[in-house]
Amino acid sequence: FGVYNCRIAIAVASVEGLNHPPDAFNTNTNGTIDVGYFRINSIHFKQTGCSLAEVITEKGNVLCAYSIWKQQGNFSAWVGFTNGNYMNNL
């Protein structure tokens, strides 16, 4: 993530799911699930490095989050970023 974006990534994870076990998940109203520290949404499970088996591990969850961030160029995939809640953890 780099020095600056690493701080944002940790802040985003803090409001998303960092306080839960890496294999913890929740079900969304649209039927998708969010998994782990970064609450990786199941829409990403077909992406390389983001299978369910990978995102339920600490390392896999962070690597998948990095992949999503790198692909999108920002943290907009996470509600904790788009709603500004991450800023309380910077």
Cβ-proximal residues to 9 (8 Å cutoff; 6+ apart), any chain = 1, 65, 66, 69, 75
Q: Is the pLDDT of residue 57 over 90?
A: yes
Model-wide pTM > 0.95: no
pLDDT digits (tens, 9 = 90+) for 35-52: 999 999 999 999 999 999
What's the pLDDT score for residue 22? 87
Q: What is the pLDDT of residues 17-31, one digit of tens each?
A: 998 888 999 999 999
The pLDDT score that the predictor gives to residue 33 is: 97
